[in-house]
A = this chain, B = another copy of it.
Amino acid sequence: MKKITIAKIAELAEVSQATVSRVLNGYVHVRPEIRERVQRIIAETGFQPHHVARLLASNHSNMIGLVIPSGPQTVFIDPYFLALTEGISKATNQHKQTLALFIFHSLQEGHDTIQSIINTGMLDGLVMTADMKDGTLIPQLIAAEMPFVLIGRMEGLDEIHYVDADNLEGGYMATKHLLDLGYTRIGTICSGENKSGDDRFQGYRRAMQEAGIELDMNLVYFGDYSLNSAYNGMKKLLPECPEAMFVSSDTMSLGAIKAIREAGLTVPDDIAIVGYDDLPPALQAEPPLTTIQQPIYETGRIAVEILLEVISNPRQQPIQTILPNKLIVRASCGALQRGNQPQ
């Protein structure tokens, strides 16, 4: 199978390579009849330009990378990244970009990856995920002038492009919902592991404060997003008799529910929970929890849009987008409203 090149197309169409290249790239200044002739030949032959050659000549690749950290074990099981990747993929498909995926399993690997991405010059830009513990990766990118968009936010990095969910609002909405149902003794299992976790906790605080309820640290537990941490946390909080809980990730809700069950109590009859993340149905807790739904998919999509904008138009003001969350009220809440009022 002979690879067909631009030279052959030029020959068949009786024009120069330059002209073929121009119609390929949609330049405007090509005589219509010639354009059509070339296009016909291209269609007939099924020719597609060699991506790599184009890339070398033009110095951009139509390829962007997605960088995801993975913990020591298999942490890439988080459906969050799936939804994100799906959104990103949809956007890259749509823009005819190709998506390179970089999962690193240690900080060292992360550094090497980034360095090699930079040196190798094969990517136009990067979508970075915020939750890497190390603040070193980002400066590396900035120094190399590699365009990137951060998903989420990081402390101390204000002058960069990012898209994030409004986590503070999310925590606020969740807590407010519980308050509106009449609860006052509302506990929380949250996390100080990253900015998102902080923000959600701040949202909780604000809602409580607005309701005139003083912060009771005995009702607050900081987990690490793992099921187990939440399980332990819930066991610790149970003696404090919370009527309701705001748990700041879906995985942690599962841990909390487990502890509640083991104590012989049930959700939501004894303790109402509002969760976070709104996983796809197949992965949801049983009973289905009222949750804050993050626009994860949308976040990915928008990150790509921003990145492409930044690539084609460098050195502009930071583009920073914050997307709202949605409160999804499920059956468990109905139960509460039916009169399972706090003791």
Contacts and interface: CB of A to CB of B under 8 A. Distances in A.
Contacts of A101: 66, 85, 89, 99-101
Contacts of A26: none
A105 B77 contact: no
Interface stretch (A162-170, A192-200, A281-289): A281-289
A80 to B, nearest CB: 10
A88 to B, nearest CB: 9
A107 interface: no
Given A48-B120, A109-B93, A280 B74 contact: yes
Contact of A282 (B3, B103, B145, B254): B254
Interface in A48-81: 48-53, 55-56, 61, 63, 66, 70, 74, 76-79, 81
A2 to B, nearest CB: 12
A82 B80 CA distance: 11
A104 B56 CA distance: 27
Contact of A103 (B89, B280, B285): B89
A48 to B, nearest CB: 3
Interface residues of A, number: 62
Contact of A100 (B74, B98, B109, B286): B98
A113 B103 CA distance: 22
Contacts of A98: 100, 102, 122
Best-surrounded residue of A120, A122, A258, A282 (most CB of chain B within 10 A): A282
B282 A227 contact: yes
B56 A52 contact: yes
Given A48-B120, A254-B286, A227 B100 contact: no
Given A83-B74, A101-B85, A51 B122 contact: yes
B82 A77 contact: yes
Nearest to A280: B77
A100 B102 CA distance: 9
B77 A83 contact: yes
Interface in A285-303: 285-286, 297
Interface of A: 1, 3, 46-53, 55-56, 61, 63, 66, 70, 74, 76-79, 81-83, 85-86, 89-90, 93, 98-105, 109, 113, 115-116, 119-122, 144-145, 226-227, 251, 254, 257-258, 261, 279-283, 285-286, 297
- Nearest 5 A-B pairs (CB), nearest first? A48-B119, A51-B120, A89-B103, A77-B280, A101-B101
